[in-house]
Amino acid sequence: MNSVKITPDIIRSMKTDRRGVPSLTVYDYPMTRLFDEAGIPLLLVGDSLGMVVLGYPDTTHVTMEEMEHHVRAAARAKPLGLLAADLPYRAYEDEAQAVANAKRLRIAGAEAVKAEGGRAIINQVRAIIAAGIPYIGHLGMLPQNVVVEGKYRIKGKIEEERAALLADAKALADAGAFAIVLELITPAVAVEISRSIPIPTLGIGSGPDCDGQILVTHDLVGAFPWFTPRFIKPRLATGAQTRETARQWALEVEQHTLKMP
């Protein structure tokens, strides 16, 4: 369990200290409290909630109002871990909009924000940081682009993508981001990026050698049994176990065999 409040500077220093940075998504009060008690230093209210909580087909349906709702729930846990939140799809199309929506997430309780992209949104990134809001980058496979790209795929396999990813990572670090998520980037390129910038990289499906790792919690604990990414091996099967527990309880009620404590 964390004994001091985690700040962006502490997350940044973990790279210098060669401490891996574990990060998990959170969507509500109990999840946030449990993971904070487990000592997870970086907690992200991810727009992945669109799929694993709200039942959308992808993250592009998530609204600012929905993000604010879940950030408020997570913030009520008052975690010592740093609580960050995703800016949802089309919430940062220009500088003014990016800052306004980042401030909305801060008011809801987020202590940092994350958005997808590198040089293409660098003006928005600079504006958010200039407004005093800590920022996490996100490169590689960008879930908010899945409708445009048509599928999720590993990035960095060709030289053009490799060069672009390195340039994007440098631009984000230079702009003042304190960490960068690297999603579905070929491991060799993820390592190259990690070695080329002074801030931590958080891999997801990008190999084991980034500065840290971030996961959608439902994937880690098997809470969304209808789909699991190929790069994840769930540590638990909570979805299947919950379903079976409910089935057994219902059977006892139906057969009048339920024993009360």
SS3 167: helix
* Residue type at position 63: T
User: Which residues share a beta bridge with 82?
Assistant: 42
| DSSP states along 174-243 | HHT-SEEEEESB-HHHHHHHHHHSSS-EEEESS-S-SSEEEE-HHHHHT--TT---TT---S--HHHHHH
Query: Which one is catalytic: 95, 161, 183, 252?
Result: 183
- The Cα–Cα gap between 184 and 131 comes to 30
Q: Compute how many other C-beta atoms are within 10 angstroms of the C-beta atom of residue 14.
A: 21
Q: Is 183 a catalytic residue?
A: yes
Q: Which residues are catalytic?
A: 183
